[in-house]
Amino acid sequence: METIEERLNKIEERNKRVEIDKAWETSFVRILSISIITYIITIVLMYSIGIAKPYLNAFLPVFGFILSTQSIPVIKKYWIKNK
């Protein structure tokens, strides 16, 4: 049987993992990584189907992603306030 101290240590370890996961979800590195990957994949797709100026046009989905990551916290706060 686990002692209270062992149970508490497990809970604290779990809380640390959850905090790190939350920090990753909003980190600049994550947003930048997803943006770069999205940009590259979009360029390849647009180039392969013959869309003009794929390097320029590929910015649209990246811009949409970045905009959504920045606006969602505002919408969430509004939603929580009015719930």
Domain ranges of the chain: 4-81
d(CA 10, CA 5): 9
pLDDT exceeds 90 at position 20: yes
Q: What is the pLDDT of residue 43?
A: 97
Tens digits of residue pLDDT in 36-77: 999 999 999 999 999 999 999 999 999 999 988 888 888 888
Evaluate if residue 1 carries a pLDDT over 80.
no
pLDDT given for residue 33 in this prediction: 96
Contacts of 53 (CB under 8 A, 6+ apart): none
pTM score over 0.85: no
